[in-house]
Amino acid sequence: MLNFEFVSPTRIIFGKKAEEKVGEEVKKYSNKILFHYGQGSIKKTGLYDKVVKSLKNVGVEFVELGGVQPNPRLSLVRKGIEICKKENITFILAVGGGSVIDSAKAIAAGMKYEGDVWELYEGKGTLKEALPVGVILTIPAAGSEASMGSVITNEDGWYKRAINYDILRPVFAIMNPELTYTLPSFQTAVGTVDMLTHVMERYFTNTQHVELTDRLSEATMRTIIHNAPLALKDPYNYDVRAEIMWAGTVAHNGLLGNGREEDWATHDIEHEVSGIYDVAHGAGLAVLFPAWMKYVYRHDLNRFARYAVNVWNVEADFFNLERTALEGIKRLEKYYKEDLKLPITLKELKVPDDRFEEMAEKATERGPLGNFVKLYKEDVLNILKLAR
């Protein structure tokens, strides 16, 4: 096990009607905030009115900025920074899924960074402080409600890049599984893939003697795998939605990565795909992670066989670990296709192969990807071809 430091300051407020507490939580930090949200679904569900009522009841003034898209855009982040500076905003409330939260974090970072906020995402600057961010989560998937990460897409060149700072972890996350009842099936499905991939990016590691986090990771994956199809069949099942929502947070708050080397190559490759073609992040991962697995599994047959046995209940073939490992990958793909009803090839995702070279080049322009196996431009190109 490697040395590590773990900081998880986000206060989780979980359960039915939890969103009604948002005013009193925000009031602890500010009397004037930016209320940041997506493209209007919170108004259709009535959540917007609940938030406004709760803020007004405690005398919190707010300025609104809606319009966050999936794969959130740098242009809106810059607009948010401009509004916050003009209005002397001291807190940001993000109401929505990972895209809204990531956008809010980017605005929070840009408010305290002296240069242009995109410099941080290019790795040309360092963030030392940020505005506090609070969250009401409506889409369990990205884990951004308790993570240190933010991913933003720059329309100039369609670069999708991430930053990770502990100071970007939200100060609180309000999580009511009831708010996820009306999610479209597709959102539930791609959110499931995002959660599973967050765990697998950590699970496939070269670090030895990490038994606890191995077992925690396997339990988290099994919980997600079991409950997601149930949610698709019965969207109003509170207990199932609660399991999924909490698993999504655990999958990406850093706990499962403690003491172990993480990978993240597939996320970096997917960012190039969704940056150009604007596909849902989880949909891209459903195609690309199995392709990555097929490309690297021989690097550690024991780990892939363990994954197959402990996560997918594959009967171990101790005389042919490769067969066991490949069966685990096969079951993951089958789950995505049959249980979640998602594409498992780039062709099915309507991503053509004429820009593979460009994506491989952009993905590796700052160096090789990943840690489990270092991937260079040709490796990325091969994985994209495997996913074709």
pLDDT of residue 318: 84
pLDDT along the chain (388 residues), means of 10: 95 98 98 96 96 98 97 98 98 98 98 97 97 98 97 96 97 98 97 98 98 98 98 98 98 98 98 96 98 98 98 94 98 98 98 97 97 98 98
Q: Are 176 and 15 in contact (CB under 8 A)?
A: yes
Cα-only R_g, the chain: 20
pLDDT of residue 69: 95
pTM: 0.96
Interatomic CA distance for residues 364 and 362, integer angstroms: 6
- Domains of the chain (ranges, CATH numbers): 11-179 (3.40.50.1970), 184-387 (1.20.1090.10)
User: Which two structure tokens, joined as six digits, stand for 41?
Assistant: 């679904």
pLDDT of residue 187: 97
Convert 299-333 to b/e letters by CB count within 10 Å (16 or more is b): ebeebbbbbbbbbbebeeeeeebeebbbbbbebbb
Q: Specify the 3-state DSSP secondary structure of 141.
A: coil
